[in-house]
Each structure stands twice: as structure tokens, then as C-alpha cells.
């Protein structure tokens, strides 16, 4: 894969380990109508998408959940439940970014995320890796709520290619969600679908033959 010069990494379940059902469980415990959870989450879908592209503030996002919550549920409870899915960023994955750079690759981060999760990530990085931000391990990081685009939309990948001045054919995108891989391939970026249970370091080393 010598023609690959740039590697774009997803964040969730690629760099950071996630347990999404934990957030669903914790949020459900706060809801006013436990017998109508499917309806509640359906009502919140627009809010979730808006928050992920930075169209609404933290306050509006939290208040949307509070409107569906039991009495006496407050913002910090919503934040804790929302962050429950965030588990760990293993040091060997961060070290691998340095190894890739040493081999001449440019490495980037592209995540569908939000301000509350990014705040947790940066606090985690300071606490566990003595760095105030995850961004230090990448040539540049692109977060959906800051660039106002989300995967798998073509506009999201086109934004990254243009901003970082990358050639699509020389760029590999790594994600655990196949739909996002298809979105990247639609604009000419190569895709590597990281299958659940497979670690990005060993999988990518095999893919790149390094």
C-alpha cells in the first residue's frame, strides 16, 4: 500500500473504546416514561443530529433530554449519562500514531461527535496521557460539531480533503461503521472497515504491510 500517504481515523471504537449501550441504559433510567422509550428516542433524533453538526448548543441539547426526563433530573445527570459510553484510549494506539508519522504518513482524525464528548476526551487525555488534547497525536483533527459536517455525507469527506489539501486516491479512511466507509469511497478515498473485536493497530499494520 505504498501509494497511501494519508490516513484518516475515526474516533469511536477505533481510537477510543465505546460502550454505547451504557449511555442508552443510563439515559433510559432518567426518562419520565420508561414504557415509551422507543417513542422518546425517536423524538430526540433530530436533536441528536443537530447537536452532532454544531447546530444547537450544549444547553439546548441537555434541555431536550430534560424535557423527557423524570422530575428533579438535572443537567449534570444528563451529562454523566451521555458520557457513560466513553471508556478508554489505550496508550498503544496513540503510540501507533507516532510510528505512522515516523514512517512518513500524515495522520488525521475525523469524528461524528459533540462538545460534551470532546470535553470528556480532553479531560481524559490530561488525566491519563498528560496532554490537554487528543489533537496532539494527529496532523489535524476534524470534529463534526466544529466543521458542521457529519459522516457519511460526501460534504464531510470533501471538507477534509480540501482543508488538509489531500489527494483522495492517496488517502485511507479507517472506520468501524461500514456506511461511513461507503461515504468515503464515494469521493474516491480508500476505505478500511474495522470489524468489531479487531484492534486498529494490528489490523492496519497488516493492511499496510508494515
d(CA 26, CA 94): 29
Look at residue 33 in the predicted model and tell me its pLDDT.
94
Are the beta carbons of 205 and 99 closer than 8 angstroms? no
- Angle, CA 177 vertex, CA 174 and CA 182 arms, to 5°: 75
- 25 grid coordinates: 441504559
3-class SS of residue 11? coil
Indicate the pTM of the whole model. 0.96
Distance CA 45, CA 92 (A): 35
- State the burial class of residue 112 (Cβ atoms within 10 Å of its Cβ: 0-12, 13-18, 19+): buried
The three-state secondary structure class of 5 is coil
Q: What is the pLDDT of residue 2?
A: 60
Burial 34-64 (b: 16+ CB within 10 A, else e): eeeeeebeeebeebeebbbbbebebeebbeb
Mean pLDDT per 10-residue run, the chain (210 residues)? 89 98 97 94 97 98 97 97 98 98 98 98 97 97 98 98 98 98 98 96 96
Q: pLDDT tens, 131-174?
A: 999 999 999 999 999 999 999 999 999 999 999 999 999 999 99
Amino acid at each position: 500500500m505504498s501509494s497511501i500517504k494519508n490516513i484518516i481515523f475515526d474516533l469511536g471504537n477505533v481510537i477510543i473504546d465505546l460502550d454505547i449501550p451504557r449511555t442508552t441504559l443510563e439515559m433510559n433510567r432518567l426518562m419520565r416514561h420508561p414504557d415509551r422509550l422507543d417513542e422518546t428516542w425517536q423524538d430526540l433524533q433530530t436533536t441528536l443530529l443537530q447537536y452532532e453538526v454544531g447546530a444547537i448548543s450544549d444547553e439546548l441539547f441537555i434541555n431536550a433530554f430534560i424535557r423527557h426526563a423524570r422530575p428533579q433530573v438535572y443537567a449534570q445527570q444528563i451529562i454523566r449519562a451521555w458520557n457513560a459510553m466513553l471508556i478508554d484510549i489505550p496508550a498503544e494506539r496513540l503510540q501507533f500514531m507516532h510510528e505512522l508519522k515516523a514512517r512518513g504518513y500524515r495522520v488525521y482524525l475525523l469524528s461524528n461527535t459533540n462538545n460534551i464528548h470532546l470535553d470528556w476526551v480532553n479531560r481524559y487525555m490530561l488525566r491519563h496521557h498528560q496532554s490537554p488534547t487528543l489533537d496532539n497525536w494527529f496532523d489535524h483533527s476534524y470534529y463534526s460539531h466544529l466543521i458542521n459536517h457529519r459522516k457519511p455525507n460526501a460534504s464531510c469527506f470533501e471538507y477534509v480533503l480540501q482543508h488538509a489539501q489531500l489527494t483522495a486516491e492517496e488517502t485511507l479512511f479507517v472506520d468501524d461503521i461500514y456506511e461511513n466507509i461507503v461515504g468515503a469511497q464515494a469521493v474516491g478515498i480508500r476505505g478500511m472497515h474495522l470489524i468489531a473485536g479487531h484492534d486498529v493497530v494490528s489490523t492496519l499494520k497488516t493492511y499496510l504491510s508494515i
